[in-house]
Amino acid sequence: MTKLPSLRESILQHLRYSFGKDPEHAILEDWRMAVSYAVRDRITDAWINATHRTYDTGAKRVYYLSMEFLIGRLLEDGIVNLELVDEARAVLAEFGKDYQAVLADEPDAALGNGGLGRLAACFLESLSTLGCPAHGYGIRYEHGLFRQSFVDGRQVEMPEHWLEQRHAWEFERPEVRYRVGFGGHVDTRGETVRWYPAEEVEAEAFDTPVVGWKGRWANTLRLWSGRAIHPFDLDRFNHGDYAGAAQPEALARTISRVLYPDDTTEQGKELRLKQEYFLTCAALRDILRRFNNQFGDLRKLPAKVAIQLNDTHPAIAGPELVRVLHDERGLPFDDALEIAQGCLSYTNHTLLPEALEAWDESLFGRLLPRHIQLIDRIDATHAARNPSRQQSMRADHQVKMGQLSFVMAHKVNGVSALHTDLMKSTVFSELHRLHPDRIVNQTNGVTPRRWLLGCNPRLASLITESIGEAWVDDLDQLTRLEPNVQDAAWLDRYAQVKRDNKVDLANWMARHHGVHVDPDMLFDVQIKRLHEYKRQHLNILETIALWSEIRDNPEAGWTPRLKLFAGKAAPGYFFAKDIIRLINDAAAVINADPVTAPYLKVAFLPNYNVSLAERLVPAADLSEQISTAGKEASGTGNMKFALNGAPTVGTLDGANVEIREHVGAENFFLFGMTAEEVMERRHVDGHAWRAIEADPRLRRALDLIRDGRFSPQDPGRYHGITGNLEGPDYFLVCSDFTDYWRAQREVDAAFADRSRWSRMAAWNTARSGWFSSDRTIRGYMADIWNAQSLIGA
Ligand code: T68
């Protein structure tokens, strides 16, 4: 390995020789690229070494298949993990460049919708930190999640072009290409079955190295891009059909063009199914090629290869692996099935019936005619071995991907203790009875490098000064802060960190969004995808009720509060978009009210993404985790807030339950029905009306919305929302309102006592170490993958 020059030298060399600029003429983007290349060079050494070690030791590899990797910006990740922050800042300062501005110049790679995609990104970082040989496989979407702006309070979607700016992190691998087929027919001759696809495209690999803490290890994120096998039809061109000549290329590229911006219902779109097969087919070919080169004997596959399915989106991996092993490599079907099951495992992220993937069987059979045959054979084999089985993978003319994933996996996991229990008792109850050892829990986690060290440097410094730096990759060490939490002087410093972070955010909001807020207000934050079950509308109802109460009695000693929202709604999810508009409309009215101005402000920040979360999380006082119990599988934002010292106001849902156990009930504002009570309440006739009748504050808030107080030009604008809440109210907003109001007034009282509040916040930090994704990944390695760390091996 060549010795690299100093970071300063590296940056200047790249500026000159990679970008042809001297420091005087370099623009911000040149600096960003030069710093990125200098950092990348350092990552590349770790990366190539890690690959050698994996080959030399013959270790088992983990493959994480996911339609989404919400990686965000990568430069700061690299700088932080290589401990180059001070050096990079100094070099840039020497040339009059602002470190933060250089970081912020990087496009935010939004190759995901929400929690599922961000979890995949945290997992990759932890896999590298732990030195577990791993690859992430995904799609290199040209357009990530849409860019959101507001026009008259309404969400407007614009395409995201993250690849239009220069991007420093990927290595194109033109030599790594696989053909992926669709459609066509199946030819059966006795035992020999062959699939002849009608259409074929090529998947080309692009690799991004993912470096772990201190650069000890780096793994690969390999993203597939679609291309045509014969990109240009010269014959059509020569006949004057210029547009038609380029058509094969355009069609193939469509496959990796857009991320489906929907985290609720699977649109029955052919293209989505094509994307899923495209990712899976290319990934499996790549995995088998690597395995063949090194090991050869296919029966060893489960000993050397662990394939994790991030939700059912890559579930076609089951039948595809069986197809390759049986149809192409000639293994007996039963052996192929057993080998595939030995490799595969599946993570479930939702119990919402509308989000469980099911494909129309005629579409599925048309696109993947051999796979549907194999699914039937897998289903029949499973039924024959389990005679009491009643459900099937094929029902209602659909292919049920959850059932398929369960049967094809040797382990199936939920993402929080409550969610895993509910999987056993609801959607997978029959399969759980037949395979009682298959479902395991792996409560989600977040990487502390990005979600504390990187995003909250002030708090990170205070922690390191107090207990040393070992916490960064051993987050349980945060409990060593417990004595500090009893110390008034230390708590003052902790409170000062939070205040400084709030001042930064307030300045940024004033500069970029024209929103002016007092940093001494309570910063109450709800940031996540918009969804009825996440109940942003419960929050805005409480805000409107609070506004009315303050107006009634402005001198009652209210705790000043800023209600901050951010999040995107799926473009076709009209109810969620109405909620956004309502929040914006209410904000305009409330923020213009001089009576309530000292006590209440509301802001909805546009275009929520990873970078905005990194800005908001360190500055939050209160974390809103208010989903209808039983609906949020886990949550991961809840963990980021707790770690950064924002106590939760929340229901007993997902990982909130475990957060409350860790930080202590006295440092958590609990409200609302339990998952069991929710199920019972739904059966109470007129539950919404009963709740409204019983609570005049709720009654008044609903009246204000329905009567057009926030939409005077269009009084009926929110009748969809009020009609839903006063009628079916499936997510039980009304039934939980009164208790939510109570919890929020407890928050007011607690916040008014500043030393009490700081103590609660600091307990949250000290007790959140368990929510590191390092802990989660260790769990997967031990309970699911049987994989080992190669650091120090
Ligand atoms: C989230 N799911 C869960 N789905 O809602 C959240 N879905 O509770 C959990 O913490 C997180 O996963 C990680 O486990 C999602 O984010 C999606 O984004 C999605 C995307 C496409 C189709 C279905």
Cα of 151 from ligand 1 centre, angstroms: 28
pLDDT, the chain, mean: 96
Cβ atoms 445, 771 nearer than 8 A: yes
Which pLDDT score, from 0 to 100, does residue 3 have?
82
Which pLDDT score, from 0 to 100, does residue 736 have?
98
Mean pLDDT in residue range 323-331: 97
pLDDT, tens digit, 9 for 90 and up, residues 20-69: 999 999 999 999 999 999 999 999 999 999 999 999 999 999 999 999 99
- Of 668, 674, 682, give the one whose Cα is nearest residue 654: 674
- Of 287, 131, 313, give the one whose Cα is nearest residue 222: 287
- Residue 471 — very low, low, confident or very high, per pLDDT cuts 50/70/90? very high
Determine the residue of 116, 348, 609 to mutate for testing ligand 1's pocket, defined as the one with the most ligand atoms within 8 A of the Cβ atom. Answer: 116
> Could you please report the per-residue DSSP string of 716-744?
GGGHHHHHHHHTT-TT-HHHHHHHHHHHH
Atom number of ligand 1 nearest to Cα 112: 18
Cα of 499 from ligand 1 centre, angstroms: 32
Cα of 350 from ligand 1 centre, angstroms: 7
Q: Where are the beta strands (DSSP E) in 212-292?
A: 218-227
Which pLDDT score, from 0 to 100, does residue 450 have?
98
User: Can you name the residues that pair with 195 across neighbouring β-strands?
Assistant: 186
Q: How far is C-alpha 734 from the chain's CA centre? A: 29
Atom number of ligand 1 nearest to Cα 444: 14
SS3 content of the chain, % helix, strand, coil (to 5): 55, 15, 30
Contact residues for 636 (Cβ-Cβ < 8 A; gap 6+)? 115, 118, 119, 122, 444, 445, 446, 655
Model confidence at 792: pLDDT above 80? no
Q: Whose CA is nearest to atom 12 of ligand 1?
A: 116
CA distance 333 to 324: 11
Helix (H, G, I), strand (E, B) or coil at 315: coil
Which pLDDT score, from 0 to 100, does residue 263 have?
55
Q: Whose CA is nearest to atom 20 of ligand 1?
A: 263
Helix (H, G, I), strand (E, B) or coil at 524: strand
Cβ neighbours, 10 Å, residue 417? 17
Mean pLDDT in residue range 119-144: 98
Model confidence at 269: pLDDT above 90? no
Q: Whose CA is nearest to atom 7 of ligand 1?
A: 263
Atom number of ligand 1 nearest to Cα 266: 22
Q: Whose CA is nearest to atom 13 of ligand 1?
A: 116
Q: Specify the length of the chain in residues.
A: 793
Cβ atoms 202, 229 nearer than 8 A: yes
Atom number of ligand 1 nearest to Cα 655: 10
Cα of 428 from ligand 1 centre, angstroms: 18
What are the pocket residues of ligand 1 if the criterion is a CB atom closer than 6 Å to any ligand atom? Answer: 113-116, 119, 263, 349-350, 355, 415, 444, 632-636, 654
Q: Which residue has the higher pLDDT, 2 or 390?
A: 390
Cα of 223 from ligand 1 centre, angstroms: 20
Q: Whose CA is nearest to atom 19 of ligand 1?
A: 263
Which pLDDT score, from 0 to 100, does residue 1 have?
58
Which domains, and CATH codes, for the chain?
Answer: 1-57+73-107 (no CATH), 61-72+113-444 (3.40.50.2000), 466-674+737-771 (3.40.50.2000)
pLDDT, tens digit, 9 for 90 and up, residues 3-17: 889 999 999 999 999
Mean pLDDT in residue range 259-269: 66
Mean pLDDT in residue range 717-731: 98
Count of alpha carbons within 13 Å of 714, Cβ hemisphere only? Answer: 8
Cα of 311 from ligand 1 centre, angstroms: 8
Backbone φ/ψ region at 184: left (φ over 0), alpha (ψ -120 to 50), beta: left
CA distance 323 to 329: 9
Mean pLDDT in residue range 525-536: 98
- Residue 245 — very low, low, confident or very high, per pLDDT cuts 50/70/90? confident
Cα of 357 from ligand 1 centre, angstroms: 13
pLDDT, tens digit, 9 for 90 and up, residues 585-643: 999 999 999 999 999 999 999 999 999 999 999 999 999 999 999 999 999 999 999 99
CA distance 781 to 783: 6
Model confidence at 733: pLDDT above 80? yes
Mean pLDDT in residue range 545-568: 98
Determine the residue of 68, 263, 308, 659 to mutate for testing ligand 1's pocket, defined as the one with the most ligand atoms within 8 A of the Cβ atom. Answer: 263
Q: Whose CA is nearest to atom 2 of ligand 1?
A: 116
Catalytic residue numbers, as ranges: 349, 528-529, 534, 636, 640
- Residue 230 — very low, low, confident or very high, per pLDDT cuts 50/70/90? confident
Mean pLDDT in residue range 322-338: 98
Cα of 165 from ligand 1 centre, angstroms: 28
pLDDT, tens digit, 9 for 90 and up, residues 500-510: 999 999 999 99
Which pLDDT score, from 0 to 100, does residue 264 have?
56
Atom number of ligand 1 nearest to Cα 635: 10
Atom number of ligand 1 nearest to Cα 260: 21
Model confidence at 2: pLDDT above 80? no
Determine the residue of 267, 275, 279, 350 to mutate for testing ligand 1's pocket, defined as the one with the most ligand atoms within 8 A of the Cβ atom. Answer: 350
B/e letters for 277-293, b = 16+ CB within 10 Å, e = fewer, are bbbbbbbbbbbbebbee
Which pLDDT score, from 0 to 100, does residue 84 have?
98
Determine the residue of 64, 258, 259, 349 to mutate for testing ligand 1's pocket, defined as the one with the most ligand atoms within 8 A of the Cβ atom. Answer: 349
Q: ipTM value of the model? A: 0.99
Q: What percent of the chain has pLDDT over 90?
A: 93
Which pLDDT score, from 0 to 100, does residue 247 have?
81
User: Can you name the residues that pair with 69 across neighbouring β-strands?
Assistant: 111
Mean pLDDT in residue range 412-427: 98
Atom number of ligand 1 nearest to Cα 119: 13
Cα of 395 from ligand 1 centre, angstroms: 25
Mean pLDDT in residue range 123-148: 97
CA distance 166 to 376: 47
- Residue 310 — very low, low, confident or very high, per pLDDT cuts 50/70/90? very high
CA distance 549 to 283: 58
Model confidence at 353: pLDDT above 90? no
Which pLDDT score, from 0 to 100, does residue 190 have?
87
Residues 637, 643, 645, 649: what is their CA dihedral angle, to the nearest 10 degrees? Answer: 40
Model confidence at 778: pLDDT above 90? yes
How are beta strands 394-395 and 398-400 bridged, if at all? antiparallel
Which pLDDT score, from 0 to 100, does residue 243 have?
83
Model confidence at 231: pLDDT above 80? no
Which pLDDT score, from 0 to 100, does residue 20 have?
98
CA distance 255 to 249: 11
- Residue 240 — very low, low, confident or very high, per pLDDT cuts 50/70/90? confident
Token duo for residue 689 = 């009306």
